[in-house]
């Protein structure tokens, strides 16, 4: 699948060179995911050290029709025996191992799973590091659920 241009939005920062095969469909956003997800259910993993935030991601993503796995730390994700998800949502600011560090570890293992990185301060430094790891979506916290669902849906 090839990506199409999207209008710039306040909460997202797009990088020029995505390595994954998913992107944002050009069609009407909310209608797009509502239509397609029901027929193409897919797995998404969320890693965030805040359990309440984690639970809210599960709520909205499951309602959108995804199979959702949640992890409270990078280590617990790395230790899980689940098959690789279609898309991975990472909180950046986590103690012990940050979202970027987890992404780097995954790339080192040869994984090219599409990653959405969520951070309170998407600085150029973080965006630059993310793009080195082939992460094309760096969303400012709190992310727009619609945008998140749209992107995850495009990865399936």
Partner 1 sequence: MRGYLAAIATSANDAIIGKNLAGTILTWNDAASRLFGYTAAEIVGQSITTLIPRDRLHEEADILDKMRHGRLFAHFDTERLTKDGQLIPVSLTISPIHDDSGAIIGISKVVRDLSESQRMNLELQSREALLQSILETVPDALVVANDRGVVLSFSSAAQKMFGYSAAEMVGQPINKLMPPHDAHAHDQYMKNYEVTGQRKIIGIGRVVLGQRRNGTQFPLELQIGEVRVEGSHLFTGFMHDLTEHQDRDRRLQELQSELIHMSRLSELGQMVSALSHEVNQPLTAIANYAAGLRRMVNAEKSPALRNAVDKVAEQADRARRIVLSLRALVRKEQRQRQMEHLEPLIRETSALALLGTSGRVDLNVLVRRGAAAAFIDRVQIQQVLLNLMRNAVEAMSESQVRRLSVDTNDAGELIAIRVTDSGPGLTAALREKLFQPFITTKAEGLGVGLSICRTIVEAHGGELVCEADDANGTTFSFTVPRGDGKSGAGEPAASGST
Query: What tokens does 117 get?
Result: 């990185």
Tokens matching residue 93: 């600011």
Distance from C-alpha of 10 to C-alpha of 140, rounded to nearest angstrom: 9
Distance separating alpha carbons of residues 105 and 10, to the nearest angstrom: 29
**86 vs 137 by CB, closer to partner 1:** 137
Q: Pseudo-torsion of CA 75, 140, 115, 150, nearest 10°?
A: 130
Binders of partner 1 among 63-102, rule CB under 8 A? Answer: 63-64, 93, 95, 98
Taking residues 2 to 41 in sequence order and writing x for each that binds partner 1 by CB under 8 A, - otherwise, the string is -xxxx-x-x--xxxxxx----xx---------x-------
Query: Which residues would be at the binding site for partner 1 (CB under 8 A)?
Result: 3-6, 8, 10, 13-18, 23-24, 34, 50, 52-53, 55-57, 59-60, 62-64, 93, 95, 98, 118, 120-121, 123-129, 131, 136, 140-146, 149
């Amino acid at each position: 699948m090839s990506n199409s241009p999207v209008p710039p939005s306040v909460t997202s920062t797009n990088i020029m060179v995505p390595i994954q095969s998913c992107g944002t469909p050009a069609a009407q956003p909310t209608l797009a995911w509502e239509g397609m997800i029901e027929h193409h259910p897919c797995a998404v993993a969320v890693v965030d050290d805040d359990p309440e935030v984690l639970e809210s991601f599960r709520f909205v993503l499951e309602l959108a029709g995804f199979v959702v796995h949640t992890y409270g730390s990078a280590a617990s994700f790395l230790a899980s025996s689940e098959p690789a998800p279609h898309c991975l949502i990472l909180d950046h600011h986590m103690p012990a191992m940050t979202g970027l560090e987890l992404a780097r570890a995954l790339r080192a293992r040869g994984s090219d799973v599409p990653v959405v990185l969520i951070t309170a301060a998407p600085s150029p430094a973080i965006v630059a590091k993310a793009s080195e790891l082939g992460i094309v979506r760096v969303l400012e916290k709190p992310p727009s659920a619609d945008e998140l669902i749209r992107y995850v849906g495009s990865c399936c």
